């Protein structure tokens, strides 16, 4: 694929409206879903994402999420120049982020910027369109309460899919559903916040000035504690990040007890994408809730 310069030239033309000679096309990332290509042209440098997903709107939804982030946080967000499908390949053309050493204020900037993002709100939980987290459809129909949204649009669809695909048995599926009544009064009563939705270290880059850059969102309006819990799932961020966030937008007491419940969702995502090694974390949280 990467020897076929005509594919990149067509995508550049469709995105930018002009023919641009390519000086270099270099594969820099090959994940389970997307491949990332560095494109150097006579007009500038670009980051080009490609995949073969059958969902033709997957990058359209990502571009929509990036635009929502741009409007609601001072953090740097890459500019999107175009997206679409050529043949059996989806593509997304964005700014090239020239990574630099993190600045001295990197974690503080990230904490304050995320807090400001979470201050963006709307009347209901959800989003104006369904989108994706990784390659999984993320339904975002609106609900008045977070517990209802979390149950109906996050936990139940993925647990049902996990049962259908043989990743959990019927006994555990039924046990999992027993936590739903417990969750009714489990979460703080807060307004919906605009979330990044997939906030882990791999989706944060260092920009040209060393400041944080957010990429690969799965946005919706939900409980702001979802982003913070997700940030801790794979080791957590620097303490300065959490301190800065709490200084601007303090959390309600008891977040540590709620954190594993929020992380049921990303663990279910990983269960579906990568297999049963992620099931034990889900089982432990369910057992704890049902005691």
Domain count, the chain: 2
Is residue 215 located within the same domain as residue 164? yes
Res 2 pLDDT > 70 = no
User: Based on the number of CB atoms within 10 Å of its own CB, is 11 exposed (0-12), middle (13-18) or buried (19 or more)?
Assistant: buried
In this structure, is residue 101 part of a structural domain?
no
Q: What integer pLDDT is reported at residue 3 of this predicted model?
A: 55
Are 84 and 116 contained in the same domain? no
In a domain, 132, yes or no: yes
Judge whether residue 106 has pLDDT over 70.
yes
Residues 6 or more apart whose CB falls under 8 angstroms from that of 177 comprise: 156, 159
Confidence of residue 1 (pLDDT cuts 50, 70, 90): very low
Token reading at 9 = 């030239």
Per-residue confidence band for 33, with pLDDT thresholds at 50, 70 and 90: confident
Please say if the pLDDT value at position 105 is more than 70. yes
Residue 253 inside a domain? The answer is yes
18 and 66 share one domain: yes
Q: Which of 95, 124, 157 is the last residue of a domain?
A: 95
* 239 and 116 housed in the same domain: yes
Assess if residue 210 is contained within a domain: yes
| Domain boundaries, position 76 | 5-95
Identify whether the C-beta of residue 221 lies closer than 8 Å to the C-beta of residue 113.
Answer: no
228 with 248, same domain: the answer is: yes
Model pLDDT for residues 221-268, shown as the tens digit of each residue: 999 999 999 999 998 999 999 999 999 999 999 999 999 999 999 999
Q: Do 127 and 175 share a domain, yes or no? A: yes
Q: Which residue, among 248, 36, 73, 276, has the nearest Cα to 162 in the 3D structure?
A: 276
Tell me the C-alpha to C-alpha distance, in Å, between residue 139 and each of 49, 76, 156, 218, 221.
23, 27, 11, 11, 12
User: When comparing pLDDT for 130 and 101, which is higher?
Assistant: 130
Q: Are residues 111 and 19 in the same domain?
A: no
Domain presence at residue 57: yes
Please return the burial class of 3, using the count of CB atoms within 10 Å of its CB with bins 0-12, 13-18 and 19+: exposed
Which of 61, 42, 43, 64 lies closest to 51, judged by CA? Answer: 61
Please list the residues that pair with 123 across neighbouring strands: none
If asked whether residues 147 and 125 sit together in one domain, one would say yes
Q: Which one of 64, 198, 216, 227 is the catalytic residue? A: 198
Answer yes or no: do 90 and 121 share one domain. Answer: no
CATH number at residue 179: 3.90.1200.10
What are the Cα distances from residue 185, in Å, to 146, 148, 189? 10, 10, 9
Nearest CA to 216 out of 138, 133, 137, 154 is that of: 133
CA distance 210 to 101: 5
Query: At 57, which CATH number?
Result: 3.30.200.20
Which residues is 40 bridged to in the sheet? 24, 45
In the residue annotation, 198 being an active-site residue is answered as yes
One domain, residues 91 and 110: no
98-136 burial: b if 16+ Cβ within 10 Å, else e: eeeebeeebbbbbbbbbbbbbebeeeebbbeeebbbbbb
């Amino acid at each position: 694929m990467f020897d076929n310069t005509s594919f990149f030239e067509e995508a550049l033309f469709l995105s930018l409206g002009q023919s641009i000679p390519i000086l270099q096309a270099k594969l820099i990332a090959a994940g389970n879903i997307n491949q990332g290509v560095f494109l150097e042209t006579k007009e500038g440098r670009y980051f080009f994402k490609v995949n073969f997903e059958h969902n033709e709107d997957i990058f359209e939804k990502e571009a929509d999420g990036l635009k929502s982030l741009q409007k609601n946080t001072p953090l740097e967000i890459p500019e999107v120049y175009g997206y679409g499908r050529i043949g059996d390949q989806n593509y997304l053309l964005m700014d090239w982020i020239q990574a630099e050493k993190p600045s001295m204020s990197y974690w503080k900037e990230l904490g304050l910027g995320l807090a400001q993002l979470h201050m963006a709100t709307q009347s209901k939980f959800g989003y104006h369109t369904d989108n994706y987290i990784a390659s999984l459809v993320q339904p975002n129909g609106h609900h008045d309460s977070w517990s209802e949204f979390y149950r109906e649009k996050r936990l139940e669809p993925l647990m049902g899919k996990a049962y259908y695909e043989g990743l959990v048995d019927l006994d555990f599926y039924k046990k999992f559903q027993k936590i739903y009544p417990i969750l009714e009064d489990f979460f703080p009563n807060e307004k919906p916040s605009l979330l990044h939705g997939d906030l882990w270290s791999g989706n944060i880059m260092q920009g040209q000035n060393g400041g944080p850059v957010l990429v690969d969102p799965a946005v919706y309006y939900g409980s702001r504690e979802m982003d913070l819990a997700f940030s801790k799932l794979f080791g957590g961020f620097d303490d300065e990040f959490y301190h800065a966030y709490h200084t601007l937008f303090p959390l309600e007491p008891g977040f540590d007890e709620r954190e594993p419940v929020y992380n049921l969702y990303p663990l279910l995502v990983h269960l579906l994408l990568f297999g049963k090694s992620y099931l034990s974390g889900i089982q432990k949280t369910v057992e704890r809730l049902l005691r």
